[in-house]
Structure formats: C-alpha cells, structure tokens
Amino acid sequence: MFRSFLVMSDAYLALEDGRVVEARGRVPGRTRGELVFTTAYTGYEESLTDPSYEEQVLTFSYPLIGNYGVRAERFESDRVHPRAAVAREFTDEVVEWLAEEDVPAVDHLDTRDLVTSIREEGAMKVGIAVGEDATPEDAKEELSKCKGMSDHVDIGAQVTTPELTTFEGDGDTTVALVDCGAKQSIADSLVDRGATVHVLPYDATAEDVSELEPDVLFISNGPGDPKNYTATRELVEEFAGDIPLAGICLGQQIVASALGGTTEKMAFGHRGVNQPVRDLQTGKVVMTTQNHGYTVADPGEHLDVTQVNVNDDTAEGLASEELSVITRQYHPEAHPGPHDSLGFFDDVLAMTESEGNGRKRRVIAD
C-alpha cells in the first residue's frame, strides 16, 4: 500500500508568461518562486540541498531524477532549499525524501517546453498548487504573491549559519569563510588541503573576523542579489589590501561590488555541470559546475578578468595580484560535476605563502 505522498494528484503551475501547465502531483502543497532549470544529469541530491536555490523552483532538464537513490552523505546542507521541484519523472525514493522535507514536487509534464520557455523569456515567477483539491486558480493565487529574487532583501538570513562553526584542518592556515549560503563541499575542499575553516554568519562584523586572525577571508556562494549582502560587502571593503581575499559564485559578485565593480541579473543564468570556461592567460578550457542568476558586469579598476565563459563571455574569474584577490563565478569544488578546477583551492591557500601577504598595507581608497 502506497503512503500518502506517493498518491498521484492534480498539479498546476501558473507561469508569469500567462500559461497554466497541468502536471502530476507527487508531493502536495502550495508555493511560489523563481522558475529556473539545471542541465545536470547527475547530482540531484547536491542540487536540491544547494542553498543557492533558496526561493526558487528547480526544474531538472534530465528526464529521470532519482535513478541512483538518495544518500545523505552527498547533501550540501541540512535541508532541501528549492521551494518546489519539477521533473519529467521522479522516482518514489526522491518523492519520499521531498515529502519528508515538505517540498512540493510535480512530474509528468513537458520539461523540454519549460526549459525552452525559460531560455527564450528568462527565469520567471511561478505559482504552484499540488493536491487532490488543487485548481488552476490556486496556482494563480500563489503566482500573485511571488516576489522577484532581488526583492528578497533578507535572503542571506535564511541560509547562513546561526553561529560560528569550525572545521579543523591539520595544517597552519586559517580561513574565515563567510557563509552566505555555503555548500559544505567548499569547507571540505579547504580542510582536505590542511586549512582550518571558521564558518561565520553572513552578517559577521569586522571584529568577528579580526578575532580569528585568519590568513584568508573567503566569501561563499549563496542565493539572490549581491546588492542585498551589505554587511558582507562591508567586510570585503574593510579587509581588502590587508589579508588575501577569495570568493565563489555570489562571493565573486560581492568582492567585485566591494572593490568598485558592478553586477547585473542574467536572463536565465548558468545552472549545470557542463559550462565551458577559458583561462585568458593559458588559453585552457575547463568544464565547470555553475549555479547563478547574477554576474559581474564590470569588475572595476582594482580587479582583472582572468577567465571567461566560452558561451557568453561573462566573467568567470577575477584577480588582483596587488590586493591578493582570487575569485571564481563557477563552483570549483564541483559536487556535482567535473573536477577540472579543484586547483583553485590550492591557489587560494598559496596566497598565504607569498612573502608580504600577512597583514599588508591598504592599497585602495577607503
């Protein structure tokens, strides 16, 4: 006998473009969010637990999700972050997991059409209603209450650590990782290289960081608009030129903003495990994992673009030798995805070994 969450029921998706899509309900509920897609064909556990998907509805372009089960050791955080999940077909094991997390899920719809619409029209708002009594009007009501991603001004508070957490490494390097929605594998990648990682809340103060005496200040990935991370940006402004700085994804955008650059929202973003990135110095192209809807439009005068996306020339890497800064727009820790760019973490820690890095004189204007 099936449990209640495996019972098939009606489901409706009300899209911002005016359409209402009918689907099969797998986990009941009502919700709304920004409709996005990922092209990854593996790594659904990592994607669903990635904090960068907060306040979004995640559509999987790969048709079958769940064909190798669900294992907690692959999770990137302690909960599912998308407000709902959409696929051509979910296995019962994934449905059970999403039901335990109280996350609505729908399948048996044409995800190819959804993905095409997002690519052509951009990421859009969606309202979802799932259940035996669900109606298209219920989904439209959810859509009417949906906010744009930039309007989620306190989104960092939804995904950050509530308190300082430390992961001990066996080396001498100390990293202050500011958690704007960090994937666990970022801290793991640093600890694997001997670093002790102190994970701080996204709104940590300069005093909080100074007490740790870190060798590197590292700004994590996370959801939403970088303009809404004022406290994190102020940390970068405070320590730039004093200690080495690193950032991933949202972290790159925050670092650039703090150092005089600008950011902008993309049409539908980069989400998947096969984004090609070219290094401008070596000419080498690597395949990368990405999940972001904003990008650096102009790095400003203090940062140089070191890597670009092959498909659209957006900035994938920034650096400043003078300020000891290195950032990546993609996810070098992968999980899921190719391991072509794991050397980024070695480069970050190598900044602490350069003579004179320690506590440097400030070289940018306050």
Q: Tell whether residue 41 is among the known ligand binding residues.
A: no
Q: Tell whether residue 150 is among the known ligand binding residues.
A: no
Q: Which long-range contacts (CB under 8 A, 24 or more apart) does 117-122 make?
A: 117/15, 117/17, 118/35, 118/36, 118/37, 118/59, 118/268, 119/268, 121/17, 122/267, 122/268
Q: Is there a single domain that holds both residue 46 and residue 93? A: yes
What is the pLDDT averaged over residues 113-140? 97
What is the pLDDT averaged over residues 219-230? 98
pLDDT of 8 over the 70 cut: no
Q: Is there a single domain that holds both residue 214 and residue 324? A: yes
Rg for the chain, CA atoms, rounded: 21
Q: Is there a single domain that holds both residue 28 and residue 122? A: yes
| Band of pLDDT at residue 355, cut at 50, 70 and 90 | very low
At which of 127, 147, 167 does a domain end? 147
pLDDT of 253 over the 50 cut: yes
Cβ(311)–Cβ(269) below 8 Å: no
Q: Tell whether residue 194 is among the known ligand binding residues.
A: no
What is the reported pTM? Answer: 0.94
As given in the structure block, the two tokens for residue 259 are 């150092």
At which of 113, 147, 181 does a domain end? 147
Residue 199 forms part of a structural domain:
yes
Domain CATH number, residue 79: 3.50.30.20
Q: Is there a single domain that holds both residue 79 and residue 209? A: no
% of the chain with per-residue pLDDT over 70: 94
Q: Report the mean per-residue pLDDT for the chain.
A: 94
Q: Is there a single domain that holds both residue 116 and residue 251? A: no
Domain CATH number, residue 292: 3.40.50.880
Q: Is there a single domain that holds both residue 175 and residue 142? A: no
Q: Which long-range contacts (CB under 8 A, 24 or more apart) does 69-75 make?
A: 69/93, 70/45, 70/94, 70/96, 70/97, 71/45, 74/45, 74/46, 74/335, 75/45, 75/46, 75/49, 75/184
Q: Is there a single domain that holds both residue 223 and residue 92? A: no
| Band of pLDDT at residue 310, cut at 50, 70 and 90 | very high
Residue 42 forms part of a structural domain:
yes
Residue 172 forms part of a structural domain:
yes
Q: Tell whether residue 323 is among the known ligand binding residues.
A: no
Q: Tell whether residue 329 is among the known ligand binding residues.
A: no
pLDDT in tens, 229-252: 999 999 999 999 999 999 999 999
Residue 49 forms part of a structural domain:
yes
pLDDT of 31 over the 70 cut: yes
Q: Tell whether residue 171 is among the known ligand binding residues.
A: no
Residue 234 forms part of a structural domain:
yes
**What is the spatial distance between Cα 223 and Cα 147, in angstroms, rounded to a whole number?**
14
Residue 358 forms part of a structural domain:
no
Active-site amino acid positions: 249, 331, 333
Q: Is there a single domain that holds both residue 38 and residue 116? A: yes
**What is the spatial distance between Cα 285 and Cα 261, in angstroms, rounded to a whole number?**
25
Looking at residue 28, its amino acid is P
Q: Tell whether residue 269 is among the known ligand binding residues.
A: no
Cβ-proximal residues to 32 (8 Å cutoff; 6+ apart), any chain: 57, 83, 125, 126, 127, 128, 142, 143, 145, 146
Residue 359 forms part of a structural domain:
no
pLDDT in tens, 178-212: 999 999 999 999 999 999 999 999 999 999 999 99
Q: Is there a single domain that holds both residue 131 and residue 270? A: no
Count of the separate structural domains present in the chain: 2
Q: Is there a single domain that holds both residue 212 and residue 173? A: yes
Q: Is there a single domain that holds both residue 219 and residue 338? A: yes
Which of 114, 49, 100, 101 has its CA nearest to residue 77?
A: 49
Residue 204 forms part of a structural domain:
yes
What is the pLDDT averaged over residues 206-231? 98
Q: Tell whether residue 33 is among the known ligand binding residues.
A: no
Q: Is there a single domain that holds both residue 162 and residue 136? A: no
- The residue segments making up the domain with residue 25 are 11-147
At which of 147, 175, 203 does a domain end? 147
